[in-house]
Amino acid sequence: MGAGSVREQPQAPMHSPVNWALLGLIIARPSYAYELARRFERTYDGALSLSSVSHVYTALGTLRDRGLVQEIAGTGSAPRSRRRYEATAAGLSEHAEWLVAQASEERRRQRLLVTQLGALVHTPERALEVLDEYEQACLADLAAAPPAGEITPGTTGLISRLIGEETRLSVAAKLRWVQYARAQLTQSGAAGAPGTPR
Amino acid sequence: MSLLSVQNVSKRVREGERERTILHGVELELQAGELVGIWGARRSGRTTLLRIAAGIETPDAGTVQFEGSDLAKHRDRTLGTGIGYVTRTLRAGEEQRVLEQVGAALLARGTPVDRALESAREALARAGCAGTAAMRVGELAGAELVRVAIARTLTLSPALLVIDDPTATVELSERDGILTLLRELARDGIAVLASSGAPEELAGFHRVLTLGEGVLRGVSASGLAPVVALRSRAV
């Protein structure tokens, strides 16, 4: 089945991050399933994982059925392990839409965290403890982030630099926010909000 | 035994009519070759913490030990040799070259001129600024000044290098180079304790801690779980 059999009826959204991550790899470079599994481990190490190599076949089946990838001409009749896959126009388009949606999802998660912290406003001690633990996680992320200025050539190096800069800047912003929130919560606790258990 | 051990250190400062606690029960340990960063906002006390860790200032309470010895009792023996505190203030003598400035500490300790200047050349090369040797201090740009200041500290072969906000006066394009130098020194086995007002600059440090309201938060010693500040300690 190739690009010709693109969806004829509305389908449920594809939620699996593994499927989207695999599609991203295929967009970057058409590959065999086995090669995709190896690239997946290298690229998404620590962020996403495959349950097994057969997970790649399952994901490829889903992507193909949705018309997001297709077997490259001439490889469709080869054994399953030797078939190469490339992205379709629909795959390129939907992958871009999914990427943009991820930014919104990140903002939504951050808003959720802040809102949940706000729910502890009447117990500022507990809120400060949560904040301390959140800060510890940020500090660990910062220490684990690749330092600026370490240049690795090529596409892999470019991706590493982009990931590194995104991590450094976003964690730094979170740490600054923690200090702001801590000051606000401390003031709130000192002032004793109405109805605050003391 | 840790190379540096800061134990339950507190410090108050007078600001006009008021006193403010800028360090409260601070605990910090460093091992050889560790690169540790302290992030804090302005007036958070990060400079004071570094000066106390280096033995330049004394705490109001608590102790600082370097290689097992109390700094309050052995400061003269450790500051400048075992502990190198990087100061960016170079004497801007119009006639004195960078090489002579960098070798000055060795000369003051009685090292023969030839050996002192050779050590200074090596330190400048290690700090990535060999080309500044013949320059006058006043000719140095921001990043060069920091590298030369580090080189001057390196001539005394410190086991611990303490540097306050190393990139504060450095052009954005030069910052990564200074931070890379600190990482290289740590890889060579020198413990490095640095502060910064920009947390993103501390990425890739072995440990990063934050200082605010007098409380140091983070992993106080390598191999330990994070210490979550006790609320009762907050000032």
DSSP A6: -
Distance CA B125, CA B73 (A): 35
CB atoms within 10 A of CB B155: 24
Nearest to A175 among B39, B183, B205 (CB): B39
The answer on pLDDT for B216 being more than 50 is yes
Higher pLDDT, residue A171 or A7: A171
Q: Which two three-digit tokens encode residue B234? A: 């907050």
Residue identified by tokens 């080869």 is A78
Tell me what the pLDDT averaged over chain A comes to. Answer: 83
Give the confidence band of B93 by pLDDT, cuts at 50, 70, 90. low
Nearest to B208 among A139, A169, A186 (CB): A139
Distance CA B193, CA B46 (A): 11
Tell me what the pLDDT averaged over chain B comes to. Answer: 88
User: What value does the mean pLDDT take over residues B67-90?
Assistant: 78
Q: Where are the beta strands (DSSP E) in chain B?
A: 4-15, 18-30, 35-40, 61-66, 69-70, 83-86, 160-163, 191-196, 207-212, 215-217
Among chain B residues, the shortest Cα distance to A139 is held by B208
* Bridge partners of residue B12, in order along the sequence: B21
Residue pLDDT, tens place only, B183-198: 999 999 999 999 999 9
Chain A residues whose beta carbon lies within 8 Å of the beta carbon of residue B200: 142, 148, 168-169, 171-172
pLDDT at B75: 64
Give the confidence band of A9 by pLDDT, cuts at 50, 70, 90. low
pLDDT at A44: 85
Q: Which residues contact A158 (CB under 8 A, 6 or more apart)?
A: none
B179/A149 touch (CB, cutoff 8 Å), yes or no? yes
> Among B167, B208, B213, B220, which would you mutate to test the A interface (most chain A Cβ atoms within 10 Å of its Cβ)?
B208
User: What value does the mean pLDDT take over residues B50-76?
Assistant: 89
B203/A148 touch (CB, cutoff 8 Å), yes or no? yes
The answer on pLDDT for A5 being more than 80 is no
List all residues of chain A from 78 to 137 with a beta carbon under 8 Å from chain B: 125, 128-129, 132-133, 135-136
Cβ atoms of A83 and A99 closer than 8 Å = no
pLDDT at A191: 61
Chain B residues whose beta carbon lies within 8 Å of the beta carbon of residue A176: 199
φ and ψ of B211, to 5 deg: -125, 125
A149/B41 touch (CB, cutoff 8 Å), yes or no? no
A139/B219 touch (CB, cutoff 8 Å), yes or no? yes
* Bridge partners of residue A85, in order along the sequence: A31, A71
Number of H helices, E strands in chain B: 6, 10
Residue pLDDT, tens place only, A51-88: 887 899 999 999 999 999 999 876 666 676 678 999 99
B203/A168 touch (CB, cutoff 8 Å), yes or no? yes
pLDDT at A81: 67
A&B contacts, CB < 8 Å: 85
Sheet holding A69-71, edge to edge: A31-32, A84-87, A69-71
User: What value does the mean pLDDT take over residues A15-35?
Assistant: 91
Cβ atoms of A20 and A48 closer than 8 Å = no
List all residues of chain A from 165 to 184 with a beta carbon under 8 Å from chain B: 167-169, 171-172, 175-176, 178-179, 182-183
User: What value does the mean pLDDT take over residues A113-133?
Assistant: 86
Segment of B67-71, B118-122, B132-136, B219-223 carrying the highest mean pLDDT: B118-122
pLDDT at B121: 96
Helix (H, G, I), strand (E, B) or coil at B95: coil
CA distances from A13 to A49, A66, A97, B50 (A): 21, 10, 12, 54
Distance CA B132, CA B101 (A): 11
Minimum distance, in Å, between the CA of residue A45 and any CA atom of chain B: 18
Q: What is the ipTM of this complex?
A: 0.79
**Percent of chain A beyond pLDDT 90?**
34
pLDDT at B94: 55
